[in-house]
């Protein structure tokens, strides 16, 4: 029996075990793992989600019995103190000795703490483990009770900004302190950093650049940070997240070769200077570098496993440090060499301060090769750009199209993921190639996406590769002549479009009819809301008709917030509201002590309403001319407008009236995903109509109609659908477009994604809607008019029906209120007490 000991039970140590077990079988090897922490391996990449309510178990990388099932002995809370290389033994702080044949050091790193006077004061923390987070949370709660509001984070890199988000989630005002002149100096250039900074500062997170901390002020506990020139930043807590330091102590005490600045030196086999001792992850110094990303660590784990099993795999000479992540709600990505500047390179930069988007790509002077790039605010093109860079794919005639989009009908990026070579790495975290994904379908090792994920582990890291993996699976299945269907869930062998037709043709009116006839089982949380949406789209059923099958928001006709209260959003068509109605909203907010905020869709959101109070609040609003704004539903939300020519000297038409007419026509319209609209009175576009699912802009000779745009995580500009048309034509085209989308889109698919996947694209959609190629225009017109004519306000239904009101109680058998709800003050209003 060959004994393998793994020291360190972090992400990379766990990955070594996972890879080793998958490759070796368990007969010849005995694996023993030692970890200092009191729990099994967990996901440090998403550590900040611990503040958002995830538990240690949620973050765990394995089930509680995974180690036992795989014959791995796990020793937690046990520190290795020494290695005897001659006898091949290790010693623990519990005075135990264990022998090994191969030793894998996966001790990772610790937080780097700069040598600043006073860092040992109370209230100073590092941001590294769950125990660190528990301590930060406890201290934050303590100081807030004493009125403290300010906390600092030392470090403006990836880790520092993650820590700032954690401080923000704790309800404190974060100050990010960075020694360098810009945020994320290793990943972003000045333009990208400035854009990131402006987006972060919009959240009232203060950024302090070029700051050298001289000492930590305070007696026993921190009261501030003193910078040069006696500049004092008053804070009551400090989180240090200024980098990492390799945990190479075992290497040093056992005489292994260690780098000048730390890290156990390894070769391309991950062997240290002792061939029986391997080092992987952030403790390993490979090519004179410590790699602080999870993907290189996973690759090191794989190489070490292969080498111990006497196989040939070695580390690549060059380790790619490309990253895609979301920092404090802002998308950030970099790939290749983001900074390269010389006479043979051209940097192409797109910057939109209004939208908070910065994009840069570096290409060779001959415009043939992509060398690297940076994306801030919108990283939706990252996967395509990374594949072009990593596989040296040819660039379009105009390389700027890669970040601006094609402006001449030619594809701006690669046509399909299938165009990539088999050697292209699709999942960087798990080092899974296109060939591995496609071959598993071709040789029938896998039959669907879930099988591929289970076999290859693709998408299980950061998840950024999931769309590309899904496309590869579908395209490979199609190439084999297999039918590819996007079924709703395991209870139906049909897509949403097919279910829509089945319900309509068979005139089914409830879930049991559909399940009993064409489905199986009792349904689930996926298919039940889908069917409810279909019933609403066909019969204009409100959410009140299918209450048990709705998700939590539709069930209570309001958006649930993080402390169990709800937000109430009445409709304000076109953003136009009278003084009397404004007063009513203020009176409701005062009476029920609600937090008020103007939304991005020109409405007023009332937060903090308790479940028991919702019907009473709605009655006041409805009695004064309001109705449900459907902010909780997959339906029309708002039609945003500018004032148009009624007030503005630049206005070319009455955009407000048009927006109100549109919103009144489509209000309550249930669809696969939420829908937003906008109407601008001139090309200055104050209503941001081209960032909406449908947008209308006044021009000479009528209105230009745009469709299939959206904001959100992956913003898309709406595309021009019809030019210089009158209002009547706009309504006709929109009726047909929306009904065709509702009929054919998959669950939770935005209009922009739907159009991208629609065979024939925009040209085909114009043929269906404008030219009536399918001969269904009349039916679409009739269906939309039927929905418009039968609209009903869901809030009104509740206040007029005592039976419906019974579900608006916190307890099923009592009228008592939830006494666990807590609020804290914020800017003369209130907010939920942070978790």
Q: What is the pLDDT of residues 258-272, one digit of tens each?
A: 999 999 999 999 999
106 and 33 in a common domain = yes
The CATH number given to whatever domain includes residue 55 is: 3.50.50.60
238 and 129 in a common domain = yes
pLDDT confidence of residue 577:
93
pLDDT over threshold 50, residue 408: no
| 410: confidence class by pLDDT, cuts 50, 70, 90 | very low
pLDDT over threshold 60, residue 541: yes
pLDDT confidence of residue 547:
83
Mean pLDDT of 531-558: 88
Q: What mean pLDDT, rounded, does the chain reach?
A: 90
Tens digit of each residue's pLDDT (9 = 90 or more) over 335-370 = 999 988 888 899 999 998 878 899 999 999 999 999
What secondary structure letter does DSSP report for 481? T
Q: Please state which of the ranges 85-89, 526-530, 669-673 shows the lowest mean pLDDT.
A: 526-530
| 411: confidence class by pLDDT, cuts 50, 70, 90 | very low
178 and 79 in a common domain = no
pLDDT over threshold 60, residue 810: yes
Most confident of 487-491, 678-682, 756-760: 678-682
Query: Domains in the chain: how many in total?
Result: 3
Question: For residues 440 and 457, what is the distance between their CA atoms, to the nearest angstrom?
Answer: 12
**DSSP string for residues in 664-706:** HHHTT-B-SS-EEEEEESSTT-TT-GGGSSEEEEEETTEEEEE
pLDDT confidence of residue 812:
66
pLDDT over threshold 80, residue 206: yes
pLDDT confidence of residue 409:
41
Task: Classify residue 87: in a domain, yes or no.
Answer: yes
60 and 29 in a common domain = yes
Tens digit of each residue's pLDDT (9 = 90 or more) over 113-161 = 999 999 999 999 999 899 999 999 999 999 999 899 999 999 998 889 9
pLDDT over threshold 90, residue 546: no
212 and 257 in a common domain = no
Is the pLDDT higher at 590 or at 817?
A: 590
pLDDT confidence of residue 671:
94
Question: For residues 421 and 394, what is the distance between their CA atoms, to the nearest angstrom?
Answer: 13
Task: Classify residue 134: in a domain, yes or no.
Answer: yes
pLDDT confidence of residue 430:
82
Give the burial class of 442: count Cβ atoms within 10 A of its Cβ; 0-12 exposed, 13-18 middle, 19 or more buried. middle
224 and 158 in a common domain = yes
236 and 250 in a common domain = no
234 and 147 in a common domain = yes
Tens digit of each residue's pLDDT (9 = 90 or more) over 606-636 = 999 999 999 999 999 999 999 999 999 999 9
Question: For residues 359 and 343, what is the distance between their CA atoms, to the nearest angstrom?
Answer: 21
The residue range of the domain holding 150 is 124-242
Give me the torsion for CA of 137, 143, 148, 154, rounded to 10°. -50
pLDDT over threshold 70, residue 462: no
Mean pLDDT of 299-322: 91
Distance of CA 250 to the CA centre of its chain: 38
% the chain with pLDDT above 90: 62
pLDDT confidence of residue 355:
80
Tens digit of each residue's pLDDT (9 = 90 or more) over 753-784 = 899 888 889 999 999 999 999 999 999 999 99
139 and 230 in a common domain = yes
pLDDT over threshold 60, residue 539: yes
46 Cβ neighbours under 8 A, 6+ residues apart: 54, 59
Task: Classify residue 609: in a domain, yes or no.
Answer: no
102 and 11 in a common domain = yes
Distance of CA 612 to the CA centre of its chain: 33
Dihedral pair phi/psi, residue 52, rounded to 5° = -90, 10
Task: Classify residue 151: in a domain, yes or no.
Answer: yes
Task: Classify residue 562: in a domain, yes or no.
Answer: no
């Amino acid at each position: 029996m060959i004994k393998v000991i793994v020291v360190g039970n972090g992400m990379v140590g766990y990955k070594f075990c996972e890879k080793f077990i998958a490759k070796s079988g368990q007969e010849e090897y005995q694996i023993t793992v030692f970890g200092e922490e009191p729990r099994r391996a967990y996901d440090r990449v998403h550590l900040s989600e611990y503040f958002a309510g995830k538990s240690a178990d949620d973050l765990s990388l394995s089930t509680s019995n995974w180690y036992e099932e795989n014959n791995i002995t796990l020793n937690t809370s046990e520190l290795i103190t020494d290695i005897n290389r001659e006898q091949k033994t290790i010693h623990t702080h519990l005075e135990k000795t264990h022998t090994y044949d191969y030793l894998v050091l996966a001790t990772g790193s610790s937080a780097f703490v700069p040598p600043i006077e006073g860092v040992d004061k109370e209230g100073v923390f590092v941001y590294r483990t769950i125990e660190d987070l528990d301590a930060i949370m406890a201290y934050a709660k303590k100081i807030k009770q004493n009125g403290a509001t300010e906390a600092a984070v030392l470090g403006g890199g990836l880790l520092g900004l993650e820590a700032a988000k954690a401080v923000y989630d704790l309800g404190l005002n974060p100050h990010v302190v960075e020694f360098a002149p810009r945020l994320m100096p290793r990943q972003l250039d000045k333009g990208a950093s400035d854009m990131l900074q402006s987006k972060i500062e919009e959240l009232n997170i203060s950024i302090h650049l070029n700051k050298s901390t001289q000492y930590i002020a305070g007696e026993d506990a921190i009261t501030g940070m003193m910078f040069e020139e006696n500049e004092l930043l008053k804070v009551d807590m400090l989180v240090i997240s200024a980098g990492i330091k390799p945990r190479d102590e075992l290497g040093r005490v056992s005489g292994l070769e260690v780098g000048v600045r730390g890290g156990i030196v390894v070769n391309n086999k991950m062997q240290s200077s002792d061939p029986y001792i391997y080092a992987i992850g952030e403790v390993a110094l490979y090519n004179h570098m410590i790699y602080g990303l999870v993907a290189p660590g996973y690759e090191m784990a794989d190489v070490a496993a292969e080498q111990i099993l006497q196989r040939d795999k070695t580390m690549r000479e060059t380790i790619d440090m490309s990253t895609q992540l979301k920092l404090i709600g802002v998308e950030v990505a970099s790939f290749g060499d983001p900074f390269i500047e010389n006479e043979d390179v051209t940097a192409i930069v797109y910057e939109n301060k209004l939208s908070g988007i910065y994009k840069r790509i570096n290409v060779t002077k001959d415009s043939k090769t992509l060398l690297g790039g940076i994306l801030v605010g919108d990283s939706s093109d990252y996967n395509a750009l990374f594949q072009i860079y990593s596989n040296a794919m040819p660039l379009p005639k105009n390389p700027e199209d890669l970040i601006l989009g094609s402006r001449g009908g030619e594809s701006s990026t690669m046509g399909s993921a299938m165009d990539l070579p088999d050697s292209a790495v699709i999942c960087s975290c798990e080092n899974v190639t296109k060939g591995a994904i496609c071959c598993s379908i071709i040789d029938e090792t896998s039959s669907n996406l879930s099988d591929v994920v289970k076999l290859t582990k693709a998408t299980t890291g950061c998840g950024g590769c999931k769309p590309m993996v899904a496309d590869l699976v579908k395209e490979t299945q199609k190439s084999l002549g297999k039918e590819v269907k996007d079924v709703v869930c395991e209870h139906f062998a049909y897509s949403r479009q097919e279910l829509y037709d089945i319900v309509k043709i068979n005139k089914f009116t409830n879930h049991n009819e559909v399940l009993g006839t064409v489905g199986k089982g009792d349904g689930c949380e996926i298919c039940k809301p889908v069917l409810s949406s279909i019933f609403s789209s066909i019969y204009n059923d409100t959410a009140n008709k299918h209450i048990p099958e709705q998700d939590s928001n539709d069930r209570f006709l309001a958006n649930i917030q993080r402390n169990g209260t709800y937000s109430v959003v009445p409709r304000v068509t076109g953003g136009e509201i009278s003084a009397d109605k404004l007063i009513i909203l203020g009176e409701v907010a005062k009476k029920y002590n609600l937090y008020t905020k103007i939304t991005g869709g020109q409405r007023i959101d009332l937060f903090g309403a308790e479940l028991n109070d919702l019907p009473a609040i709605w009655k006041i609003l409805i009695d004064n001319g309001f109705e449900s704004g459907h902010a909780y539903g997959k339906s029309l939300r708002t039609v945003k407008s500018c004032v148009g020519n009624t007030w503005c000297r630049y206005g070319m038409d009455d955009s407000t009236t048009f927006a109100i007419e549109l919103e009144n026509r489509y209000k309550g319209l249930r669809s696969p995903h939420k829908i937003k609209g906008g109407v601008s009175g001139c090309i200055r576009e104050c209503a941001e109509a081209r960032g909406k699912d449908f947008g209308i802009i006044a021009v000479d000779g009528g209105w230009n109609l745009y469709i299939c745009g959206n904001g959100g995580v992956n913003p898309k500009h709406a595309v021009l659908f019809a030019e210089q048309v009158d209002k009547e034509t706009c309504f006709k085209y929109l009726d047909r477009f929306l009904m065709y989308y509702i009929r054919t889109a998959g669950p939770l698919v935005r209009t922009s994604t739907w159009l991208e996947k629609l065979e024939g694209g925009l040209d085909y959609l114009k043929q269906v809607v404008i030219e009536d190629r399918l001969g269904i225009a009349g039916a679409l017109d009739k269906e939309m008019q039927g929905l418009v004519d039968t609209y009903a306000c869901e809030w009104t239904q509740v206040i007029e029906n005592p039976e419906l009101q019974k579900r608006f109680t916190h307890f099923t058998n009592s009228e008592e209120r939830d006494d666990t709800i807590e609020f804290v003050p914020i800017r003369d209003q209130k907010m939920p007490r942070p978790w």
